[in-house]
Amino acid sequence: CGFLPPPLPTGWFGLGMSQDRGSRKQPIEPCRPMKPLYWTRIQLHSKRDSGASLIWEKIEEPSIDCHEFEELFSKTAVKERKKPISDTISKTKAKQRAQSDELEKIEKHGRSSKDKESAKSLDKPEQFLYELSLIPNFSERVFCILFQSTFSESIGTIRRKLELLQKLCETLKNGPGVMQVLGLVLAFGNYMNGGNKTRGQADGFGLDILPKLKDVKSSDNSRSLLSYIVSYYLRNFDEDAGKEQCVFPLPEPQDLFQASQMKFEDFQKDLRKLKKDLKACEVEAGKVYQVSPEEHIQPFKENMERFIIQAKIDQEAEENSLTETHKWFLETTAYFFMKPKLGEKEVSPNVFFSIWHEFSSDFKDFWKKENKLILQERVKEAEEVCRQKKGKSLYKIKPRHDSGIKAKISMKT
């Protein structure tokens, strides 16, 4: 017991004599029977033919304090609690715009008016729209101008969402904090499953265990495995723990939640619609060029031609970005050895990022509490140091000076 040494070096052929056949890890025999961790074990020797690289080839399993861990998570008869089902709430935004049927009503009102006086009986907003409708090719111009506004907004939204997906995939694959946290989960999980032939000596694990770590309780039911891992991480791996500059090691929960609500089918659908509407805008703008008098063409023509050229460039750029992001996402899921559900062709963002969202949310709750506790401990230590220094100064004897008045009097006597 004590500190568990790190496993053998990473590599396909880093095998020890005492290992099970084909396993990279030395068998672990805890001093006490441990509570089990029911994860899906991944062993690299069985994935040689998969072709794709896995994150578990890069994860370093750190040495851990086995004695403390055994004291907390040795096996007892405590029943495990079932994980509560969490509900996700999606918010939608509604936007109001002047609809074509409203314009038709105003135009009917204008046509039914026998004179200009009755037309003036319209309210100011309706009167304004009526006067606009007198402009040549008004409806075509309005369609183009409104589409110009919505296109910029829509393409910008798609771009930001794809950039978020790219950032999350990069962080989960290569983030040092993610690597350290997964390494700790792997180390403690292997110790809990020490001696078990189906769960022990794991090189990695299925991600579905991550949200369940908070439900694995200690022997006295005072804390969870996740809270212990968070505390261990901060106190042994993060030099800035308890300080303002302490950085959360995982992607932010709100980013993961937003990503979990995305669908690549929706991106494709939105881009197809934008492309279709862009063609319609080009047609409507062409009608204005052909029919409107010369004095009414500019600056509409110049603005629309410039917009359509740039819109086509942006459209193509986001289509390419979507293709690359989709490919990168699938590579990320394969990197974690995630497989699609039965009947599905591929892992969806909802399945992948929902796991990380729940884990990151739980991790951050404990991370905040532990940081606060560490800060309080440091404040108490600082106060104790000051108290000890102050106590020593009170008993300090002031040295005698021969230049004082008493010294002069004593010299005379």
Structure tokens belonging to residue 346 = 């591929």
Percent of the chain with pLDDT over 90: 55
**Do the beta carbons of residue 217 and residue 40 sit within 8 Å?**
no
**What mean pLDDT is predicted for residues 290-306?**
82
Residue reference for tokens 């509900």: 87
Cβ neighbours for 122, distance < 8 A, ≥ 6 positions apart: 106, 109, 130
Is residue 84 packed enough to be buried (19+ CB in 10 Å), middle (13-18) or exposed (0-12)? exposed
Q: What is the pLDDT of residue 370?
A: 96
- Over 50: is that where the pLDDT of 86 sits? no
Confidence class of residue 49 from pLDDT cuts 50, 70 and 90? low
Cβ neighbours for 136, distance < 8 A, ≥ 6 positions apart: 288, 291, 292, 293, 296
180 to 2, 81, 320, 363, 368: CA distances (angstroms): 21, 27, 34, 13, 18
- Over 70: is that where the pLDDT of 307 sits? yes
pLDDT digits (tens, 9 = 90+) for 115-142: 555 445 667 777 777 776 667 777 788 8
Phi, psi dihedrals of residue 47, rounded to the nearest 5°: -110, 15
Structure tokens belonging to residue 368 = 């905040």
Residue reference for tokens 């304090």: 65
- Over 70: is that where the pLDDT of 148 sits? yes
pLDDT digits (tens, 9 = 90+) for 149-206: 999 999 999 999 999 999 999 999 999 999 999 999 999 999 999 988 899 989 999 9
Residue reference for tokens 């905040």: 368
What DSSP designation does 40 have? -
CA 261 – CA 90 distance, rounded (Å): 8
Q: What is the pLDDT of residue 20?
A: 47
Confidence class of residue 331 from pLDDT cuts 50, 70 and 90? very high
**Do the beta carbons of residue 133 and residue 107 sit within 8 Å?**
yes
Q: What is the pLDDT of residue 5?
A: 47
Give the amino acid at 260: S
Query: Is the torsion defined by CA of 14, 16, 21, 25 positive or negative?
Result: negative
Q: What is the pLDDT of residue 387?
A: 80
Q: What is the pLDDT of residue 385?
A: 82
Structure tokens belonging to residue 284 = 């409507």
Confidence class of residue 11 from pLDDT cuts 50, 70 and 90? very low
CA 251 – CA 263 distance, rounded (Å): 19
CA 359 – CA 165 distance, rounded (Å): 18
111 to 105, 127, 259, 266: CA distances (angstroms): 10, 13, 51, 43
- Over 80: is that where the pLDDT of 107 sits? no
Q: What is the pLDDT of residue 100?
A: 57
CA 238 – CA 205 distance, rounded (Å): 24
Structure tokens belonging to residue 200 = 């022990």
Within the chain, what is the greatest distance between any pair of CA atoms?
A: 130
Percent of the chain with pLDDT over 70: 75
Q: What is the pLDDT of residue 291?
A: 75
This prediction's pTM: 0.75
**What mean pLDDT is predicted for residues 336-348?**
93
Q: What is the pLDDT of residue 51?
A: 64
Bridge partners, 64 (sequence order): 4
Of 199 and 296, the one with more pLDDT: 199
**Do the beta carbons of residue 32 and residue 88 sit within 8 Å?**
no
Structure tokens belonging to residue 174 = 């290569």
280 to 274, 283, 289, 292, 300: CA distances (angstroms): 10, 5, 14, 18, 16
Q: What is the pLDDT of residue 95?
A: 42
Structure tokens belonging to residue 276 = 């279709």
Report the range out of 252-261, 276-285, 388-397 with the highest average pLDDT: 252-261
Confidence class of residue 352 from pLDDT cuts 50, 70 and 90? very high
